[in-house]
Amino acid sequence: MSAAHARPWRSAVEALLTDRYSSPVEVDAWERLEPRAVARATLRGVAAPRTVVVKWVRGHPSETRTEPWRLRSELATLRFLSDDLGLTLAPRVIAADLSEGLMVLEDLAPRTALDHLLRRDGAAAHSDRLAVFARAYGELNAATVGYADTYRARRASLGTSNPEADHVGWFAQLRDEAHGHTAVPGAAITGRAEIELNAALTELSEPGPFLALSNGDAETNNILLHESGPADARLIEFESAGYTHALLDAVCLHVPGPAWMTVGDPMSTGLGDHYRGALASGVPQAEDDLRYGFGLAAACISWAIVRLQRFAILDVRAPGDHSRPQLVETLEATARTAEAHGVFPHLTGWACRTADLLRRRWPDADVDFTNPAAFPPYTARR
C-alpha cells in the first residue's frame, strides 16, 4: 500500500486510539501485510502498545471480500471468545469503528503462519507445531460447545448479516446441489451411495453435541505460532465464523485443502488424536469411535463434493496443473478416512471410482500419492 493510500487509515487509527487511551496516539510507521486488508502500525503514545495490527473493509471495485458483514462477523467472534468466554486462542480486539470499517487488534508478532514454516522447511521439521495446530482447533471447538445462543446474541448486537453464518443450514442446501457437483461423466451418486450421502448431510446439518464454533477456514495459514520456544498459538481470520459441526474443522488434517497436494496420514502421525483428544474435553461423544468416525467421514465427504464442483474448470486446464492431481487425492483421502472408520462403504466406493475416472481422463493426474519421496505430507500445490 502506498503512503498516500494508507494515510486515511492512519488518520482514522490515530483518532480511534487517541479516544481509546484518552491521550494522543500517532502512527509512526505503516506496513501493509499482503494479501490481506491488514497492516501493522507502529505507534507513538504513552498508553498505547508499540505496535498493533489494523484490519479494514476492502472498498476498491477490483477487490474481493468487500462485504461489510465480514468485519462485523470477526469483531463479534473475537469479542465473544475473549469477553464472553475468557479465551486467549485468538487476537484481542483493542478498538473498532464499524462506521469506518476499521478494527485494531493486538499484534501477535513474532508469531508466524504455520503454512509459511511448512512450505519453507517441510512438515517433518514442524511435527510439534502441526500437533499444536490440531489441538488448537480441537480446543476452540471444545471451549465453545453450549454457547451458541450467547454467540448469536453477540452477533445480533452488532447487526451482523453474514449470509454464511448459518453453517448448519448450509448443508441442507448442499443436499440439493450435490448431484450437480458430482455430475462428472460416469460419477453420479446413486442407489445406496445416495442413501449414505443423505445420512452424511443429515449428520452435518444436525450436529447435536458436536455443535461448536468454527472460524470457517481451518487451515495452516490461519494459525500463528512461534518458530521456536513455547507454542502459544493464536487462531486468526474469523470473518466467516459460525456455529457448525465441530468435525468440519478436522477435515484439514485428513484431506488436503486448497493449498496442499496431500496432508499425509494423521492417524500414523498422531495429529488426528491430538485434535480428537482436545475436542473430547468439551464433547465427550468424541470418545465414541463409531460416532466420531461417522461425523468425521461425513465432513470429509462434504468437502470432497464441494471440491468436485471445480471439475469443469480443471478439465480445460493445461496438463500438469497441480489442481488436477489435488482433486484426485481429495477423493482418495476422503475414501481412506471413511474406510479407516468403517463407515459409508458405498460412498467410499463412489469416491474411489471417481478418482480412478479422473486419473484416466487426466493422465497427468495419475500419480502415486503413496510415494513419500514424491509427495511428503503437506506438499504444496503450485
The mean per-residue pLDDT over the stretch 161-182 comes to 73
Distance CA(222)–CA(235), nearest Å, equals 6
The mean per-residue pLDDT over the stretch 83-106 comes to 96
Determine the pLDDT at residue 4.
42
As to burial, measured by CB atoms within 10 angstroms (0-12 exposed, 13-18 middle, 19+ buried), residue 378 is buried
Question: Domain limits of the chain?
Answer: 3-106, 112-380
Name the fold adopted by 3-106. Phosphorylase Kinase; domain 1 (3.30.200)
If pLDDT is split at 50, 70 and 90, which confidence band does 1 have?
Answer: very low
Determine the pLDDT at residue 60.
59
Checking if the pLDDT of 230 tops 90, the result is no
Determine the pLDDT at residue 2.
43
Cell numbers for 94: 483493542
Distance CA(286)–CA(210), nearest Å, equals 8
The mean per-residue pLDDT over the stretch 233-257 comes to 96
Cell numbers for 301: 465427504
Give CATH for domain 112-380. 3.90.1200
Determine the pLDDT at residue 3.
44
Checking if the pLDDT of 268 tops 50, the result is yes
Decide which of 279 and 373 is more confident.
279
Distance CA(351)–CA(359), nearest Å, equals 12
Going by C-beta distance under 8 Å and a sequence separation of 6 or more, which residues neighbour residue 354? 182, 184, 187, 308, 331
Determine the pLDDT at residue 182.
80
If pLDDT is split at 50, 70 and 90, which confidence band does 8 have?
Answer: confident
Q: Which residues pair with 223 in a beta bridge?
A: 235
Residue indicated by cell numbers 486510539? 17
Distance CA(319)–CA(363), nearest Å, equals 8
Distance CA(17)–CA(26), nearest Å, equals 9
Q: Are 122 and 378 in contact (CB under 8 A)?
A: yes
16-70 pLDDT per residue, tens:
999 999 999 999 999 998 878 899 999 998 888 999 999 998 765 555 666 878 8
Determine the pLDDT at residue 179.
79
